[in-house]
């Protein structure tokens, strides 16, 4: 068994010292903070990615440099495991420990401990593929990452500037190349060809879809939309807006999926440009989230978020499975979090099994894997559909007995190609939505009418210590502070259709309060009354008290 090249690692690590008085945390989104303090983290992640590859017998590990929907000054980095999935949870702790080692000597000691405790054979090869989004801090951080690869002698492929989902696609495609489970050609052309070919099969013979306005958040999704448009031919015309990827300060600024979801209104740049009933959608900064919307005849804004996407897609897949004669063999299920609108949960529960899990993509993805076809979309627009290997084998071997069964079977097969099953992918999900709309002959108005969202409100309460708040039942019930849940329950009973839950943020000292009710004013009132209870419990700073209670 080889040993670590300690001298080389130490020499390069000295060029990337950890800043004092900063504690880094690897969370669901990897490391994420101001880009100008991440130099040491990127170097260390480069070394860790190589170790992870060695632990996985030389399989390719992905590294994405992005801060997604965050403001432009932020940046971050996350690792991608061999099947294109998120980093194994136990290695999140290794990443955090490595990032916080105070000195080069401490860093080396942590590395040696990881090698020992996880029994890594250092003679194994290390292979990585990496990419970044369009943030100004990206090139310098990538240079630090490359020093990490160099320090440990990893074989590294630069994926350039691309979307997060394409990086995930690369990882799986590279690791399955030449096998019976080959995921696709490991190039951008391979990705766009795979998606567009499947989309073409799904919409062939359907009435042409009207043009779709796509808000690219002034991020890397603009490049993806520009590149895939020629592949789509006459099947779908994309009208890209907010494509200023080189304009300082433009990224995610008053545009993009997070802006639309949070503010529940059009990006200002689109005001006056969307005709009544016309569909539009917004990507986020790294193109892994998607939110749809339209304006009605009275010029009122209507949002079609992740819950609406899940409802549209799940019902469509259920219908195809039934038509194909496979309802006994293929069980479709949906996974949501507590943030899912209660009306969406009711609509879905009447059609498929629905499971609620704690907030975070890793929880949703893992739960979705337990179904033959698992559909998950967070309300924020991040999600995908997973087809189990058994399901894909069944689709390949099934012998249809009627033309209708044959057609439905072929549509299901095309869906497995259209959907990026490694991670939520705004471009793939956009084409999925468009395919379903074409099949249903739906406009945004008809899609929206599947169910009516319950009015809801999300309030943030600044607290001294978020760790004082503990939850259970997929974050829907507070365990501590003791007695607070009973007070919330008493409040909820006063509102028709009332529901509220409180959960601590995973990244900042705030507590998030979600509330919904049948009437908009009641949802707002319930949210702020619960926020008031949280505030009173913590004895917080009067300046941070929810404004309706000042």
CA 269 – CA 182 distance, rounded (Å): 41
CA 335 – CA 377 distance, rounded (Å): 7
| Helix/strand/coil percent split, the chain, to 5 | 45, 20, 40
CA 296 – CA 306 distance, rounded (Å): 20
Q: Are 328 and 482 in contact (CB under 8 A)?
A: no
Residue with tokens 């950890």: 18
Q: How far is CA 304 from the centre of its chain?
A: 17
Q: Are 78 and 31 in contact (CB under 8 A)?
A: yes
Task: Report the alpha-carbon angle 369-409-331, nearest 5.
Answer: 30
Residue 401 designated active-site: no
**497 membership: H or E segment, kind and range:** none
Long-range CB contacts (< 8 A, 24+ apart) of 526-530?
526/457, 526/491, 526/492, 526/494, 526/495, 526/498, 526/500, 527/456, 527/457, 527/458, 527/459, 527/500, 528/457, 528/459, 529/491, 530/459, 530/488, 530/491, 530/500, 530/502
Residue 401 is classified by DSSP as S
Catalytic residue among 40, 53, 68, 428: 68
DSSP H helices in 419-463: 426-440, 444-448
Residues 6+ apart with CB under 8 A from 393: none
Cα–Cα nearest to 465, from 537, 527, 547, 515: 537
CA 131 – CA 264 distance, rounded (Å): 31
Active-site residues, by number, are: 68
């Amino acid at each position: 068994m080889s040993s670590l090249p300690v001298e080389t690692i130490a020499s390069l690590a000295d060029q990337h010292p950890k800043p004092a008085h900063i504690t880094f945390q690897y969370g669901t989104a990897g490391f994420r903070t101001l880009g100008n303090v991440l130099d040491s983290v990127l170097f260390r992640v480069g070394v860790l990615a190589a170790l992870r590859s060695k632990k996985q017998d030389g399989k390719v590990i992905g590294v994405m440099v992005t801060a997604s929907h965050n403001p432009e000054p932020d940046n971050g980095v996350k690792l991608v495991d061999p099947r294109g999935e998120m980093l194994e949870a136990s290695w999140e702790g290794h990443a955090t420990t490595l990032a916080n080692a105070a000195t080069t000597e401490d860093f080396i000691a942590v590395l040696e401990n990881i090698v020992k405790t996880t029994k890594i054979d250092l003679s194994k090869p290390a292979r990585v593929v990496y990419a970044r989004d369009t943030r100004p801090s990206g090139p310098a951080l990538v240079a630090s990452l490359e020093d990490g690869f160099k320090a440990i002698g990893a074989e590294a492929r630069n994926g350039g500037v691309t979307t997060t989902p394409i990086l995930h696609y690369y990882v799986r495609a590279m690791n399955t190349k030449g096998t019976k489970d080959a995921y696709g050609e490991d190039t951008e052309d391979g990705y766009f060809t795979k998606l567009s070919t499947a989309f073409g099969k799904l919409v062939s013979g359907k009435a042409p879809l009207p043009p779709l306005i796509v808000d690219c958040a002034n991020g890397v999704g603009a490049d993806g939309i520009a590149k895939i448009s020629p592949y789509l031919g006459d099947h779908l015309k994309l009208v890209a807006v907010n494509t200023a990827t080189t304009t300082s300060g433009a990224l995610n600024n008053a545009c993009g999926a997070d802006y639309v979801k949070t503010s529940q209104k059009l990006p200002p740049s689109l005001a006056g440009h969307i005709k009544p009933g016309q569909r539009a959608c917004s990507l986020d900064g790294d193109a892994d989230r998607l939110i749809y919307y339209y304006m009605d005849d009275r010029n009122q804004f209507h949002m079609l978020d992740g819950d609406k996407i899940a409802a549209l897609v799940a019902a469509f897949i259920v219908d195809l499975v039934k038509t194909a004669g496979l309802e006994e063999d293929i069980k479709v299920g949906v996974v949501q979090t507590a943030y899912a609108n209660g009306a969406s949960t009711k609509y879905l529960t009447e059609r498929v099994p629905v499971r609620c899990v704690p907030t975070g993509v890793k929880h949703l993805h893992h739960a979705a894997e337990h179904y033959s076809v698992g559909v998950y979309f967070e309300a924020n627009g991040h999600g995908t559909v997973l087809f189990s290997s058994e399901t894909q084998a069944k689709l390949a071997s099934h012998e249809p007995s009627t033309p209708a069964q044959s057609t439905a079977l072929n549509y299901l097969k095309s869906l497995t190609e259209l959907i990026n099953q490694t991670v939520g992918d705004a471009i793939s999900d956009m084409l999925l939505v468009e395919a379903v709309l074409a099949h249903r002959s739906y406009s945004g108005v008809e899609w929206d009418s599947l169910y009516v969202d319950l009015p809801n409100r999300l309030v943030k309460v600044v607290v001294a210590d978020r760790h004082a708040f503990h939850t259970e039942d997929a974050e829907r019930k507070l365990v501590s502070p003791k007695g607070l849940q009973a007070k919330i329950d008493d409040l909820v009973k006063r509102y028709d259709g009332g529901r509220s839950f409180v959960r601590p943020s995973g990244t900042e000292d705030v507590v998030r309060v979600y509330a919904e009710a049948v009437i908009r004013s009641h949802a707002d009132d319930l949210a702020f009354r619960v926020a008031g209870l949280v505030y009173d419990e913590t004895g917080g700073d009067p300046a941070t008290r929810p404004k309706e209670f000042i």
